[in-house]
């Protein structure tokens, strides 16, 4: 997909036009774009540019997309890792990977470092932490805290992290000078869903009768990722029937399929 495209310098080709809805979150991240583009505007007045912000919200709501769009809008490189990559890692590997990432980021500053699923490394330490066999996770977390504290403010590295469980994070991560800003990325409402449909309908050949408000009404509770799936699935359904355009019925079929998939997923979880 478009969101996966990088050039050699780790630049992403995603901008705010690719992110639909999320108006409040966008306003907040626009400030981060400005920190990256015009740091002197803040530092000349003696301000300290924040080191990080936490994007909080349910799966598939566009947290990764928004982080990439910040890098895209500021035209700076984007470095990322996912907390889940660090689960069950050999001793020393997680911490050294974090160290390498920040070393690269400092060389390429100004830039964005994105840490997806930060809860996988940043979960609060349990009572029995020393006996839980999770030492490498803790090493990784400590390395991350060390890196965040280690580079000065105003070096031009801004760290965005995503989670759907801010409540389980180690308080140390949320302290001033670390992820002291939280930006909420919620499931879209009716209007938000219509906006997201607009983005993902762009590449499709559509029957003229289709309107986004109809589609938005058919998809309560859907995330942006679910809507992207619906649009792609509808195109595949239409192609299977050798149609020249994707029509309303194709979307209804696609929505049924996605709902079926979501129900199955929920059954497995509960």
Q: Which residues are annotated as a binding site for ATP?
A: 57-64
Q: How far is the CB of 25 from ligand ATP (least distance, A)?
A: 9
Q: How far is the CB of 38 from ligand ATP (least distance, A)?
A: 26
Q: How far is the CB of 65 from ligand ATP (least distance, A)?
A: 4
Which helix (H) or strand (E) segment holds residue 80: the answer is: strand 78-82
Q: For the chain, how big is the Rg over CA atoms in Å?
A: 21
Q: How far is the CB of 83 from ligand ATP (least distance, A)?
A: 10
Residue 22, interface with ligand ATP (CB under 6 A)?
A: yes
Which helix (H) or strand (E) segment holds residue 44: the answer is: none
Q: How far is the CB of 19 from ligand ATP (least distance, A)?
A: 5
The CA distance from 20 to 66, in Å, is: 10
**Which residue number, 64 or 143, has a Cβ lying nearer to ligand ATP?**
64
**Strand partners for 115:** 81, 161
Paired tokens of 223: 């995330």
Residue 262, interface with ligand ATP (CB under 6 A)?
A: no
Q: How far is the CB of 192 from ligand ATP (least distance, A)?
A: 7
Which span sits near ligand ATP by CB under 6 A: 71-79, 86-94, 224-232, 256-264? 224-232
List binding-site positions. 57-64
The CA distance from 101 to 120, in Å, is: 17
Residue 139 burial (10 A CB sphere; 0-12, 13-18, 19+):
buried
The CA distance from 262 to 222, in Å, is: 9
Residue 121, interface with ligand ATP (CB under 6 A)?
A: no
Residue 234, interface with ligand ATP (CB under 6 A)?
A: no
Residue 65, interface with ligand ATP (CB under 6 A)?
A: yes
Residue 196, interface with ligand ATP (CB under 6 A)?
A: yes
Which span sits near ligand ATP by CB under 6 A: 86-94, 152-160, 221-229, 259-267? 221-229
Sheet holding 52-56, edge to edge: 78-82, 111-116, 157-163, 52-56, 182-184
Q: How many residues bind ligand ATP (CB under 6 A)?
A: 21
Residue 199, interface with ligand ATP (CB under 6 A)?
A: yes
Return the closest-CA partner of residue 25 out of 201, 162, 206, 210.
Answer: 162
Q: Which residue is nearest to ligand ATP (CB)?
A: 224
Residue 193, interface with ligand ATP (CB under 6 A)?
A: no
The CA distance from 259 to 262, in Å, is: 5
Query: What angle do the packed helices 224-240 and 248-269 form, to 10 degrees?
Result: 130
Q: Which residues contact 165 (CB under 8 A, 6 or more apart)?
A: 119
Residue 3, interface with ligand ATP (CB under 6 A)?
A: yes
- Residues in contact with ligand ATP by CB under 6 A are 1, 3, 19-22, 59-65, 116, 162, 164, 196, 199, 224-225, 228
């Amino acid at each position: 997909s478009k969101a996966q495209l990088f050039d050699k310098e780790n630049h992403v080709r995603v901008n705010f036009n690719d992110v639909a809805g999320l108006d409040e979150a966008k306003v907040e991240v626009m400030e981060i774009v400005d920190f990256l583009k015009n740091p002197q505007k803040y530092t000349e007045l003696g301000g300290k540019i924040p080191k990080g912000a936490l994007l909080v919200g349910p799966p598939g709501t566009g947290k990764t997309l928004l982080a990439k769009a910040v890098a895209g809008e500021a035209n700076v490189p984007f470095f990322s890792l996912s907390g889940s990559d660090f689960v069950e890692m050999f001793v020393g590997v997680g911490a050294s990977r974090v160290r390498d990432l920040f070393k690269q980021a400092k060389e390429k500053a100004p830039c964005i470092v994105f840490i997806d699923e930060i809860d996988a490394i940043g979960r609060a330490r349990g009572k029995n932490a020393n006996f839980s066999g999770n030492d490498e996770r803790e090493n990784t977390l400590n390395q991350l805290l060390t890196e965040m504290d280690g580079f000065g403010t105003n070096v031009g590295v801004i760290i965005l992290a995503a989670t759907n469980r801010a409540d389980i994070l180690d308080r140390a991560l949320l302290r001033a000078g670390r992820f002291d800003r939280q930006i909420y990325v919620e499931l879209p409402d009716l209007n938000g869903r219509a906006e997201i449909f607009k983005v993902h309908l762009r590449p499709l050949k559509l029957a003229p009768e289709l309107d986004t408000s109809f589609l938005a009404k058919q998809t309560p509770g859907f995330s942006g990722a679910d809507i992207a799936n619906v649009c792609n699935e509808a195109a595949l359904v239409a192609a299977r029937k050798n149609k020249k355009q994707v029509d309303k019925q194709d979307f209804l079929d696609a929505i049924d399929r996605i709902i079926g998939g979501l129900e199955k997923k929920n059954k497995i979880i509960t």
